[in-house]
Amino acid sequence: MARNVSYAVDAPGGRLEIVKDISLELNAGQTLAIVGASGSGKTTLLGLLAGLETPTAGDIWLAGRNLGDLDEDGRARLRRARVGFVFQSFHLLPSLTALENVMLALEIGRIDQPRERALQALRQVGLDHRLDHYPRQLSGGEQQRVAIARAFAGNPAILFADEPTGNLDRKTGDAVADLLFDLNERNGTALVLVTHDPRLAERCADVATMDDGQLRFGPAEDAGQTDSPAKAASVSRT
Ligand SMILES: Nc1ncnc2c1ncn2[C@@H]1O[C@H](COP(=O)(O)OP(=O)(O)OP(=O)(O)O)[C@@H](O)[C@H]1O
Ligand SMILES: [Mg+2]
């Protein structure tokens, strides 16, 4: 899925290598947690894997296609058909209600019965009483749940979620996590989650740690009791 991927930008202090030579394979139905310190490159890696950013070196495959062989439109089509993405900052459209935000994504993806599916997804994240609220009328956790509903409503083959429970209380966070793992089990949706929450990371079959742009397979060294190296074994380096 990713082979020798690097990502560098020209920053004020000079050239900055944010992602350094990362290779990883993701299989259908897999669950992978990416953990690591703030600023280590987790969000950047997720954007690369989802085809939202183009690597400065290396290759990424999504649904069997090498993203380097596709132009911007081709990548967008592939994303709409196969990928769900929950952004760390939600990225909801402020002029659309919760329901409209979820429906728009489905309409763009030409998915059947967008309204019914959007309603069902919002019900599953416990927001049926906030359908007609605009993002500014929603709490942070509610906005996060709209973003999650939008990401899974179209039944993606792979769902990337950047700290999907970061703004939620424990009970709501657990419910959202249950929902994600339920999708994984029922539909075989592969999950790639960035999280600072060791409880969420533990629920994934595999854990990898970002450290200054490099990915190491296994949980964070300071993860204490959550440490279980065997969990990382099936993430192979290609
Ligand atoms: N376009 C950019 N130009 C310059 N620097 C960038 C750019 N994008 C990201 N960075 C820097 O790269 C580093 C990694 O950013 P990234 O958002 O991937 O971190 P992260 O691991 O997701 O952190 P957090 O846990 O805080 O969300 C940060 O130091 C950030 O400032
Ligand atoms: Mg981030």
In a domain, 173, yes or no: yes
Q: How far is the CA of 38 from the centre of ligand 2 (A)?
A: 7
pLDDT at 238: 41
Our answer on whether the CB atom of 41 is closer than 6 Å to any ligand 1 atom is yes
Q: What is the distance of C-alpha 194 from the center of its chain?
A: 7
Cβ–ligand 1 contact at 15 (below 6 Å): no
Q: Is 82 in the pocket of ligand 1 (CB under 6 A)?
A: no
28 lies in some domain: yes
By DSSP bridging, strand 14-24 and strand 31-36 are unpaired
The residues, any chain, with a CB within 8 Å of residue 55's CB and separated by 6 or more, are 5, 6, 7, 19, 48
Rounded to 5°, the CA angle 17-24-86 comes to: 75
Residue 220 located in a structural domain: yes
The pLDDT assigned to 222 comes to: 61
What is the model's pLDDT at position 36? Answer: 96
Residue 14, number of CB atoms within 10 A of its CB: 6
What pLDDT score does 228 carry? Answer: 42
* Beta carbons within 10 angstroms of residue 41's beta carbon: 23
**Is the beta carbon of 43 within 6 A of some atom in ligand 1?**
yes
pLDDT of residue 55: 97
In the DSSP assignment, the letter for residue 219 is -
Binding site membership of 108 for ligand 1 (Cβ less than 6 Å): no
Residue 97's pLDDT is what? 98
Asked whether residue 211 is assigned to any structural domain, the reply reads yes
Whether 237 is in a domain gets the answer no
pLDDT by position in tens, the chain (length 238): 899 999 999 989 899 999 999 999 998 899 999 999 999 999 999 999 999 999 999 999 998 899 999 999 999 999 988 999 999 888 999 999 999 999 999 999 888 999 999 999 999 999 999 999 999 999 988 999 999 999 999 999 999 999 999 888 999 899 889 989 998 998 899 999 999 999 999 999 999 999 999 999 987 776 544 444 444 444 444 4
Residue 231: predicted pLDDT: 40
Q: 238 in a domain, yes or no?
A: no
Per-residue confidence (pLDDT) for residue 155, from 0 to 100: 92
Domain with 62 in it = 2-232
The protein residue whose alpha carbon is closest to atom 18 in ligand 1 is 41
Atom of ligand 1 nearest to the CA of 196: 25
Question: Which residue, judged by its Cα, is nearest atom 7 of ligand 1?
Answer: 9
Give the ligand with the smallest distance to the CA of 45: 1
Q: How many domains does the chain have?
A: 1
Ligand 1: atom nearest CA of 88 is 27
What integer pLDDT is reported at residue 237 of this predicted model?
Answer: 42
Residue 31's domain is classified under what CATH number?
3.40.50.300
